[in-house]
Amino acid sequence: MAFTLAELLAPMDPARFLAEFHDKQPLHIKGGAGKFASVLSWRVIDRLLDQTHIWSSQSLKMQMDAQPVPAEAYCTRATSRDNTPVLQPDARKLKEWVAKGASVVLNDVDSLTPGLASVSECLEENGFGRAQANVYISFQAHKAFPTHFDTHDVWAVQVEGEKTWNIWSGRADYPIPHPAFRNLGQAHHDRARGTLREKVLLKAGDLLYLPRGWYHDALAEGATSVHVAYGVNAPIGLDLANMLAERALQEPIFRQPLPRQDGTPAAQFALTTRAAQLGQRIAELARDPQVLQVLARHVADARYSRGGVQLLAWRGLEAERAAEAAPAGDGEAPSFRVLSPGLKPVRRGSEWVLKTGAGTTALSPPEAEAAGWLLSRREVDPAALRAAHPAVDADALLARLTEAGALAAA
């Protein structure tokens, strides 16, 4: 599913978001449980983690009660596919830490599945900047990170469970990923965060927007919580400064030695005069049409390169038909997420019905039994439903329950 900005922000109008919230203040948007079901699911998480060789101690990190878990504690020394040494997460060690309540962080995953890419692509297409994604998997009562700010805008998409966010009143003044901002220390953050502005309970389908530099921390409320944090880096003034530095290489005045200083007024005047000349030339270069053209292209192209590969189409070999024939969900059978855990069919006389927010759905006795079975799970796919209840039309039942709001395609 490809999101539009209107769908991502719904029910808020994008124009209002841009006028009142973007780069100005935090925003919590409540959504239905199925809103982000296509972004990520437990099945996809496990499938990604099973691709052992793509993970390292850098791409997969663990946090335990606001402290990083040492890589050696959850990784083993291995040899990569190109025969280089690597610290690789080990399933047995991961299991031990997860049992203790450690959080799992998957970094830079926005190109791994179409669902994860869908939000990044929406943000980039609407000009917010380069959007990468990290997945945060947390467990009840264990905080992954202390109070901090990020050096990018955060768009947090809650896909599973609940998480309480503390949003503080303090905001760092446009921090960037530089040691001047990264090495401030926790004592500084605890002072600079200010007073508690609000507590936000993020539920599945909710979106939280935090402008760059805004202080926050979070804690899982339910048994589990999964959210995808999209970090968006917009082009900034330093980008222009770097362009001007490159352009200045072509100017002899910037390559000349600065006036020698011997402590005399004449030497100081010569240096001041040269500095003014250099500043004036920089200002002239900043107005140069060619520099402005490069700058405009840089801002317009602020997005990561991902996807776009269509091998059969490039050969003119019916790629569209092949894509239609392929199963959904990254080459696997489609799955459905249960949106209302604990929901059960009830009997009315000789009939069975399922009551949801969308209304009442009548079920035959075999369908009621099958519905009770699948609604007791987090996710289900047609093959599993057919195997457990062969007398039921699995595809038809899944479609009806999805229409009733009990399920959502994952």
**pLDDT tens string 318-360:** 555 544 444 444 445 678 988 887 789 998 887 899 998 888 9
Q: What is the pLDDT of residue 318?
A: 58
∠ CA 307-311-315, nearest 5°, is 140
Q: What is the pLDDT of residue 333?
A: 61
Q: What is the pLDDT of residue 8?
A: 97
| Closest-CA residue to 142 (of 102, 104, 106) | 102
pTM of the model: 0.83
Task: Scan for tokens 């959210």, then name that residue.
Answer: 227
CA 340 to chain centre: 24
Percent helix, strand and coil across the chain, each to the nearest 5: 35, 25, 35
Q: What is the pLDDT of residue 81?
A: 77
Q: How many CA atoms lie within 13 A of 69 on its CB side?
A: 26
Please check whether the domain covering 5-233 is classified as CATH 2.60.120.650. yes
Question: Could you tell me the CA-to-CA distances from 14 to 19, 206, 347, 350 in Å, in that order?
Answer: 9, 16, 44, 49
User: What residue type is assigned to position 106 of the chain?
Assistant: L
- Structural domain spans, the chain: 5-233, 237-300, 319-409
Q: What is the pLDDT of residue 77?
A: 93
Q: What is the pLDDT of residue 87?
A: 93
pLDDT-flagged residues of the chain (< 50):
322-331
